[in-house]
């Protein structure tokens, strides 16, 4: 059975969207953090050295360990010679000392400390090599199909790579999975060992809507940036890899964000648990069951095109008791200009047990004649 559960006025004017901006980067992507819709992309699955963007995965694993209470922010981490000697950007921890997980995590996120990254990797997995195994397992779980990590820092190493799309997925997971820790990515300065260092994400100073995430640079990688911004409840994630300078990476990300916020908008089109329709149940203690979806459905669409969304449901022709809450009984589709942009299972929102013997018999007779003459 097909039913229209809601159709917007299709007479509205077509939204006018200009061509995306020209972005000077080897690879880039702009994604809506809530819906996962990719608005713009170029070479987004290309394997590229991620430099210190790698530390997003290091931080994510630390946050997962914190969330699962295997470690605590107050835990003291011993600083090994290996961590202390790690080159590149540093937090300036000292060999033989102990530093809290909280300070080291800030050192990773704000100061991009390679020494802090190695210290945390050794604390969690025993060695940086073992930690890299965890990073790769975690990447697979997050659907990062074009990433392979060899270390916790992003220092150049053969067969260490990621992609713009994968890094956008990782940023999305950081924001959604561990929101209590996400404010760390917006902190502009961190002082350790009497050394005050700024966050290298210059957009934190230039755009008040930007609140994360991470910069990266090596000679092989060029200048890279993953940034997220929230404007009026719409959150976008932009990734650029292989730009020519610190200024260029900020400028190119700003182009992407401004384009996305100017010409697109995010809407929740289906709410979890909301009744979309009441349907007949045969042979049950109740004659009706409410149908809806289990999860919110969010879409990213061109501005001013919401009125053109159409909603269609395909429901099982005959629903017979017993019905359990959560049973899939059909499908709902949301379309824009004929393109399906959301497809979700329709489920029973409550259980309907079998009725008594007489009720089941009577409903079976009625259903027989209805089907006979339909």
Residue 355 to residue 363: CA distance in whole angstroms: 10
DSSP run (H or E) holding 104: helix 101-109
Rg of the chain, C-alpha, whole Å = 26
Q: Give the side-chain half-sphere CA count within 13 A for 212.
A: 26
Active-site position among 27, 55, 103, 147 = 55
List alpha helices for 126-191, DSSP H: 128-141, 164-177
- The whole-angstrom distance between residue 119's C-alpha and the CA centroid of its chain comes to 27
Sequence-distant (≥ 6) Cβ neighbours of residue 180 within 8 angstroms: none
* Beta-sheet strands, E only, within 125-221: 189-192, 195-198, 210-218
Closest CA to 174 of 320, 314, 63, 299: 63
Active-site position among 52, 117, 163, 305 = 52
Active-site position among 27, 35, 80, 112 = 112
List the beta bridge partners of residue 48. Answer: 162
Does residue 55 have an active-site annotation? yes
Closest CA to 302 of 6, 12, 43: 12
Does residue 268 have an active-site annotation? no
Does residue 112 have an active-site annotation? yes
Strand ranges across the sheet with 210-218:
38-42, 27-32, 234-243, 222-231, 210-218
**Active centre residues (catalytic):** 52, 55, 112
């Amino acid at each position: 059975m097909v039913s229209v559960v809601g159709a917007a006025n299709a007479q509205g004017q077509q939204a006018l969207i200009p061509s995306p901006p020209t972005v000077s980067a080897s690879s880039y992507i702009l994604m809506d953090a809530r819906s996962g819709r990719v608005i713009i992309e170029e070479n987004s699955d290309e394997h590229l050295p991620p430099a210190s963007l790698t530390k997003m995965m290091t931080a994510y694993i630390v946050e997962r360990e914190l969330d699962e209470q295997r470690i605590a922010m107050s835990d003291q981490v011993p600083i090994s010679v290996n961590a202390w000697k790690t080159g590149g950007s540093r937090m300036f921890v000292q060999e033989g000392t102990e530093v809290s997980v909280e300070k080291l995590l800030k050192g990773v996120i704000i100061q991009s400390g390679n020494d802090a990254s190695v210290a945390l990797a050794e604390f969690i997995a025993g060695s940086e090599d073992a930690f890299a195994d965890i990073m790769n397992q975690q990447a697979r779980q997050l659907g990062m199909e074009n990433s392979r990590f060899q270390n916790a820092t992003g220092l150049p190493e053969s067969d260490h790579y990621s992609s713009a799309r994968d890094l956008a997925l990782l940023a999305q997971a950081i924001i959604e999975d561990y929101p209590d820790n996400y404010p760390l990515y917006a902190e502009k300065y961190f002082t350790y060992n009497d050394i005050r260092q700024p966050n290298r994400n210059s957009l934190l100073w230039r755009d008040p809507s930007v609140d994360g995430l991470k910069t990266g640079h090596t000679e092989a990688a060029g200048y890279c940036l993953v940034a997220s911004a929230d404007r009026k409840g719409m959150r976008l994630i932009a990734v650029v890899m292989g730009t020519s300078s610190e200024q260029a990476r900020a400028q190119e990300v700003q182009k992407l964000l401004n384009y996305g916020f100017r010409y697109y908008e995010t809407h929740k089109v289906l709410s979890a648990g909301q009744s979309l329709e009441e349907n007949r149940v045969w042979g049950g203690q109740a004659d009706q069951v409410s149908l809806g979806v289990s999860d919110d459905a969010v879409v990213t669409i061109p501005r001013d095109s919401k009125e053109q969304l159409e909603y269609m449901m395909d429901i099982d022709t005959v629903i017979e008791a017993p019905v359990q809450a959560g049973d899939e009984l059909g499908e709902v589709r949301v379309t824009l200009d004929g393109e399906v942009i959301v497809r979700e299972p329709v489920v029973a929102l409550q259980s309907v047990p079998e009725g008594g013997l007489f009720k089941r018999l009577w409903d079976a007779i009625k259903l027989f004649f209805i089907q006979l003459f339909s």
